């Protein structure tokens, strides 16, 4: 069994231990050392391997601190800069990691300890002068997918990061183990986030998934969740394959989906979505492991006309509850808890816990992880419950003084993808060499496309309901009102509804395309309908209703918006539609004349 002890001060050296000094910078030839202050090459492709999720922040003007050989270990003395140690291990599997940190002659007032891809081990550690903090936890070293569309990537490394006014490591022991693993699946609400140093928790993205390890000292936590995933994508894009190839009897699979499923009408709560929940349960149980469902975190609640609050994920949460009862699977109702709590907190207080309308920062992530941990204990969910520790830290309250003065309030920011749009190439494996490639790359750079997906389906049609989501990204004018009920095939509390109302309010809908009181959200968008939306949006409000499809087509030809293969009454494919919206953005930015 593999076992290695690293000593960071002379007093910890013993037979067989590996001495590590301030000058020990990680290299493949030695297989251990501290991570230097370098900006990773192609960091938009993988912000974890070799960096543990900690990347430099540009424009801060702070000199990088030096690693210090001190009496009680190697240390940093610049708050917010992570002391990151990396050690190679021989193979995949479970490892027990024991960390010892000496308090020194002056003590340590507050220290955060992380492992892996910035997974929280302990928060706000206090060590008295002369005292020693010692803690043992487990990690699961295995493949992960840093960028959707790319193969799974291995990293046979253990990462340990300490952040505080005095960040110190005294001794680390790494040993192979047979401990069980809690696997996590889901979307950006669950997945691991990188961050920038100097560390600022109020603008750092965070998830409850990367904060679960701090509550377990009897199991490793392997987070395979990834931004943009639906219950379909998680399986089809390779994330589930990583888990199913490694999950063992006695392991657990905790999963939360819904935020992205809701945007696909074929993954409606009680049909496609519920079918996928059942599938995961069956697969996990066939491996002798235990499934646990977590309902979707509420977005920042919206207000109806009567002043009451609502959230669009309630039906997906109810589908989880029903499937849980049907299959006798534990359900942690994060949605109900978060929705009620957010409504009570109010907008002003809530902004300290979010980065946009859907995604938490590190404060919000820890608040939600704390609830999930408490629910495991309250419900006595086994085998999770007996693998937990007694850790119950005080709530982590946002420090608003850390917020950049120019930052838009998170409560005013729409939901957005969590990954950068500056990818060196498109992540979509089905777009290689297509004629619209250059336009799609520009769409990605402009924030129109989701960088979290493996398949774009460029030749598929775009349903009218889904098109509006993309359209309002391009128009950069999010809908203002709750849906007022004009069309009988649009439900007020579904994801498409506010976009349809936004199109109504902006006079973007040609009445000829909505016969019999139906918006037709599932019908494929035609070429003529696409030009109608685009041309109307480029005219002044109040001067749009008279523009029928024929008039919009004439105007589009004059503006050079007609693409190869255009047909007025034929469905337009996703690639041509996206590129047309890029051209719309260019015309709008150039203040193109609004009258033909």
Residue range 386-410: average pLDDT? 91
Average confidence (pLDDT) over 28-56: 84
Residue with the two structure tokens 């419950």: 385
Domain with CATH 3.40.50.1110 in the chain: 179-416
Domain(s) labelled CATH 2.60.120.430 in the chain stretch across 1-177
Rounded Cα gap, residues 154 and 88, in angstroms = 12
Q: Given a cut of 70, is residue 40 above it in pLDDT?
A: no
Instruction: Report the DSSP pairing between strands 309-310 and 302-303.
Output: antiparallel
Q: pLDDT (tens digit, 9 = 90+) per residue, 65-117?
A: 999 999 999 999 999 999 999 999 999 999 999 999 999 999 999 999 999 99
The pLDDT assigned to 595 comes to 40
* Contact by Cβ (8 Å): 262, 495: yes
Band (pLDDT 50/70/90 cuts) for residue 447 is confident
Q: Which of 55-59, 343-347, 514-518, 539-543 has the lowest mean pLDDT?
A: 55-59
Q: Tell me if 148 sits within 8 A of 238, measured CB to CB.
A: no
Residue 596: pLDDT band (50, 70, 90) is very low
pLDDT of residue 516: 95
Q: What percent of the chain has pLDDT over 90?
A: 80
Whether residue 463 has a cis bond before it, omega within 30° of 0: no
pLDDT of residue 406: 84
Per-residue pLDDT at 12: 83
Question: Do residues 211 and 391 lie in contact, with contact meaning Cβ atoms separated by under 8 Å?
Answer: no
Helix (H, G, I), strand (E, B) or coil at 209: helix
Q: What confidence tier does 479 reach under pLDDT thresholds 50, 70, 90?
A: confident
Give residue 413's pLDDT band: very low, low, confident or very high (50, 70, 90): confident
- Give whole-number Cα distances, 130 to 10, 73, 149, 164, 446, in Å: 16, 13, 50, 18, 54
pTM of the predicted model over 0.75: yes
Contact 134, 100 (CB under 8 A): yes
Mean pLDDT lowest among 49-58, 292-301, 381-390: 49-58
Which CATH class for the 179-416 domain?
Answer: alpha beta
pLDDT over 90 at 57, yes or no: no
How far apart are alpha carbons 231 and 256 in whole angstroms?
Answer: 9
CA neighbor of 146 nearest in space, from 223, 215, 254: 223
Decide if 252 contacts 211 (C-beta within 8 A): no
- Per-residue pLDDT, 403: 93
Of 213-222, 415-424, 510-519, minimum mean pLDDT range = 415-424
Structure-block tokens of residue 16: 């067989």
Lowest average pLDDT, out of 10-19, 187-196, 223-232, 233-242, goes to 10-19
Averaged pLDDT for residues 334-355: 95
Q: What percentage of the chain exceeds 70 in pLDDT?
A: 96
Nearest-angstrom CA–CA distance, 359 and 362: 10
Residues 83, 189 contacting (CB under 8 angstroms) = no
The string of DSSP codes covering 136-154 is EEEEEE--B-SSTTS--B-
- Whether 269 and 259 have beta carbons less than 8 Å apart is answered as no
Average pLDDT of 117-141? 97
Strands (E), 204-288: 220-223, 252-256
Please report, for residues 97, 234, 287, 581, the alpha-carbon distance to residue 244 in angstroms, rounded to integers and kept in the order given.
25, 12, 8, 40
pLDDT at 477: 85
> 1-177 is classed in which CATH architecture?
Sandwich (2.60)
> What is the per-residue pLDDT for 546?
87
Q: What is the pLDDT of residues 208-258, one digit of tens each?
A: 999 999 999 999 999 999 998 999 999 999 999 999 999 999 999 999 999
Average pLDDT over residues 398-420: 81
What single-letter DSSP state applies at residue 266?
A: G
Q: Which residue has the tokens 């840093």?
A: 146
Answer yes or no: is pLDDT of 420 > 60: no
Residue 126 has a pLDDT of 97
Residue 586 dihedral angles phi and psi, to the nearest 5°: -65, -45
Model confidence pLDDT, tens digit, residues 546-581: 899 999 999 999 999 999 999 999 999 999 999 999
Model confidence at 372: pLDDT above 60? yes
Local structure of residue 271 (DSSP, 8 states)? I
DSSP designation for 269: I
The pLDDT mean for the chain works out to: 93
pLDDT band at residue 59 using 50, 70 and 90 as cut-offs: low
Of residues 279 and 61, the one with the higher pLDDT is 279
DSSP output for 5-71: EEESSGGG--TT-EE--TT-B--TTT-EEEPPS-PPTTTTT-SSTTTTTEEEPTT--PPPPPPEEET
pLDDT band for 435, please (50, 70, 90 cuts): very high
> What is the arithmetic mean of pLDDT over 331-337?
98
Distance CA 305, CA 335 (A): 22
DSSP category for residue 435: T
Measured distance CA(483)–CA(544) in Å, rounded: 21
């Amino acid at each position: 069994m593999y076992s290695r002890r690293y000593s960071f001060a002379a007093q910890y050296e013993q037979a067989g231990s590996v001495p590590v000094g301030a000058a020990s910078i990680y290299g493949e030839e030695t297989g251990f050392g501290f991570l230097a202050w370098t900006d990773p090459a192609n960091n938009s492709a993988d912000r974890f391997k070799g960096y543990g999720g900690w990347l430099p922040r540009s424009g801060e003007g702070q000199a990088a601190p030096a690693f210090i050989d001190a009496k009680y270990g190697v240390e940093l003395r610049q708050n917010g800069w992570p002391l990151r140690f990396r050690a190679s291990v021989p193979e995949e599997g479970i490892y027990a990691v024991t960390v010892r940190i000496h308090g020194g002659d002056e003590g340590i007032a507050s220290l955060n300890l992380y492992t892996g891809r910035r997974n929280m081990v302990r928060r706000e550690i206090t060590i008295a002068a002369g005292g020693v903090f010692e803690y043992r936890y487990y990690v699961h070293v295995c493949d992960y997918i840093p960028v959707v569309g790319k193969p799974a990537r291995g990293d046979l490394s253990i990462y340990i990061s300490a952040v505080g006014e005095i960040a110190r490591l005294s001794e680390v022991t790494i040993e192979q183990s047979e401990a069980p693993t809690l696997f996590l699946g889901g979307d950006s609400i669950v997945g691991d986030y990188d961050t920038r140093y100097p560390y600022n928790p109020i603008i750092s993205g965070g998830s409850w998934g990367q904060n679960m390890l701090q509550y377990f000292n009897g199991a490793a936590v392997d987070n395979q969740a990834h931004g943009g995933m639906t219950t379909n994508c998680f399986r089809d894009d390779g994330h589930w394959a990583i888990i199913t190839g490694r999950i063992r009897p006695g392991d657990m699979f905790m999963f939360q989906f819904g935020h992205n499923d809701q945007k696909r009408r074929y993954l409606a709560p009680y049909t496609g979505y519920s079918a996928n929940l059942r599938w995961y349960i069956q697969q996990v149980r066939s491996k002798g492991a235990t499934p646990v469902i977590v309902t979707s975190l509420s977005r920042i609640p919206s207000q109806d006309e009567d002043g009451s609050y609502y959230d669009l994920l309630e039906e997906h949460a109810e589908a989880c509850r029903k499937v849980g009862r049907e299959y006798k699977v534990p359900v942690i109702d994060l949605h109900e808890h978060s929705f009620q709590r957010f409504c009570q907190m109010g907008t002003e207080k809530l902004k300290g816990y979010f980065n946009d309308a859907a995604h938490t920062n590190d404060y919000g992530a820890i608040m939600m992880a704390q609830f999930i941990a408490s629910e495991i204990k309250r419900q006595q969910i086994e085998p999770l419950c007996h693998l937990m520790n007694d850790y119950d830290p005080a709530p982590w309250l946002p420090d608003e003084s850390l917020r950049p003065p120019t930052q838009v309030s998170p409560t005013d920011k729409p939901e957005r993808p969590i990954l950068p749009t500056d990818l060196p190439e498109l992540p979509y494996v089905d777009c290689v060499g297509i004629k619209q490639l250059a336009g799609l790359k520009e769409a990605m750079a402009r924030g129109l496309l989701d960088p979290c997906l493996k398949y774009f389906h460029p030749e598929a049609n775009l349903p009218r309901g889904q098109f509006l989501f993309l359209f309002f990204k391009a128009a950069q004018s999010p809908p203002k009102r709750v849906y007022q009920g004009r069309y009988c095939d649009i439900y007020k509390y579904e994801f498409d509804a506010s976009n349809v109302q936004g199109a109504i309010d902006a006079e973007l809908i040609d009445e000829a395309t909505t016969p019999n009181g139906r918006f037709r959200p599932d019908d494929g968008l035609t070429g003529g309908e696409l030009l109608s939306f685009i041309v109307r949006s480029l005219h002044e409000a109040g001067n749009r209703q008279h523009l029928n499809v024929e008039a919009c087509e004439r105007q589009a030809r004059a503006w050079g918006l007609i693409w190869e293969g255009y047909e007025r009454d034929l469905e337009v494919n996703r690639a041509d539609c996206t590129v047309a919206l890029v051209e719309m953005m260019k015309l709008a930015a150039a203040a193109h004349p609004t009258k033909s």
